[in-house]
Structure 1
Amino acid sequence: MEKMILDNDKYYQNIIDNLLDYDVCINMSVNAPGDSKYSNEAKLLVAYFDKLINYDYVKKETYNTLKGIQINYFINGVKADDVKKEMVKLEDEHPLGRFIDLDVFEKNSKQSLSRDTLRKCYLCDKPAFVCQREENHRKIDLEIYFKREILNYLSEFVANLIKESVLLELNLDPKFGLVTPYTNGSHEDMNYNLMLTAVDKISPYLKEIFKATARIDNIYELLMNNQVIGKLAEERMLIATNGVNCYKGLIYNLGLMITASTYSLVNLENFEYSYFVAKTLSKQTFKDSKLDTFGQKAYKKYNFGGIRKETLNGYPSIRQILPMIIDYEDQTLIRALVKLITITDDSVLLKRSGSFEKMEEIIYKFKHLDLNDLEAINDLTNYCIENNLSFGGSADLLITAIYLTKLQETFTFLELK
Structure 2
Amino acid sequence: MIRSNAAPTPVSSHNACPLAAMIGRTAVRALYAELALHPKPGLVSPLDSGSHDDMDMSTFLRSLFALRGYFRSIAAAGAEGAGFTTLRDLGIAAERRMLAATGGINTHRGAVFGIGFLAAAAGWRLRRGRTLRGAALGGTVADLWGTDILGAAPQAPDSHGGLAVQRYGVRGARQEAAEGFPTLFTLALPALDRALADGADPERALVHTLFTLMAELEDTNLLHRGGPAGLAFVQGEARRFLDRGGVFRAGWRAEALALHRACVARRLSPGGSADMLAAAHFVHALREGWA
Query: Shorter-chain TM-score: what band?
Result: 0.7 to 0.9
* Secondary structure of residue in 1 paired with 2:49: coil
Q: Are 1:316 and 2:172 counterparts?
A: no
Q: Which amino acid aligns with 2:87?
A: N
Cα drift, residue 207 of structure 1: 0.8
Structure 1 spans left out of the alignment, 5+ residues: 1-46, 51-68, 70-145, 413-417
Give the counterpart of 1:368 among 240, 244, 248.
Answer: 240
Q: Are 1:194 and 2:59 counterparts?
A: yes
RMSD: 2.2
Q: Are 1:295 and 2:149 counterparts?
A: no
Q: Are 1:261 and 2:128 counterparts?
A: no
Cα drift, residue 205 of structure 1: 0.8
Cα drift, residue 49 of structure 1: 4.2
CA distance in 1, matches of 2:284, 2:34: 14
Structure 2 spans left out of the alignment, 5+ residues: 1-6
Number of the residue aligned with 2:226: 353
CA distance in 2, matches of 1:253, 1:222: 16
Q: Which amino acid aligns with 2:123?
A: T
CA distance in 1, matches of 2:121, 2:216: 22
The structure in which a higher percent of residues are strand is 1
Cα 1:169–1:307 shift into 2, 3 Å: same
CA distance in 2, matches of 1:261, 1:153: 13
CA distance in 2, matches of 1:316, 1:294: 20
* Counterpart mapping for 1:51-66 below 5 A: none
* Counterpart mapping for 1:203-218 below 5 A: 203-215=68-80, 217=81
Cα drift, residue 268 of structure 1: 4.0
Q: Which amino acid aligns with 2:149?
A: T
Cα drift, residue 364 of structure 1: 0.9
Number of the residue aligned with 1:230: 91
Give the counterpart of 1:172 among 31, 34, 37.
Answer: 37
Q: Spell out, residue by residue over 1:119-153, the C-alpha distance to the aligned partner (whole angstroms, 9 max, x if none).
A: xxxxxxxxxxxxxxxxxxxxxxxxxxx844x2333
Are the counterparts in 1 of residues 79 and 125 from structure 2 also a CA contact under 8 Å? no
Cα drift, residue 187 of structure 1: 0.8
* Secondary structure of residue in 2 paired with 1:274: helix
CA distance in 2, matches of 1:179, 1:265: 33
Q: Which amino acid aligns with 2:223?
A: L
Are the counterparts in 2 of residues 206 and 255 from structure 1 also a CA contact under 8 Å? yes
* Counterpart mapping for 1:157-168 below 5 A: 157-168=22-33
TM norm structure 1: 0.59
Q: Which amino acid aligns with 1:275?
A: G
Number of the residue aligned with 1:407: 286
Q: Which amino acid aligns with 1:382?
A: R
Cα 1:307–1:223 shift into 2, 3 Å: same
Q: Spell out, residue by residue over 1:76-123, the C-alpha distance to the aligned partner (whole angstroms, 9 max, x if none).
A: xxxxxxxxxxxxxxxxxxxxxxxxxxxxxxxxxxxxxxxxxxxxxxxx
Number of the residue aligned with 2:173: 307
Cα drift, residue 263 of structure 1: 1.9
Give the counterpart of 2:260 among 381, 384, 396.
Answer: 381
CA distance in 1, matches of 2:88, 2:77: 11
CA distance in 2, matches of 1:321, 1:227: 25
> Relative CO higher for 1 or 2, CA cutoff 8 Å, sep ≥ 6?
2
Number of the residue aligned with 2:3: none
The structure in which a higher percent of residues are helix is 2
* Secondary structure of residue in 2 paired with 1:48: coil
Cα 1:358–1:182 shift into 2, 3 Å: closer
Cα 1:205–1:49 shift into 2, 3 Å: closer
Percent of aligned positions with the same letter in both sequences? Answer: 24
* Secondary structure of residue in 1 paired with 2:237: helix
Are the counterparts in 1 of residues 164 and 223 from structure 2 also a CA contact under 8 Å? no
* Counterpart mapping for 1:238-253 below 5 A: 238-253=99-114
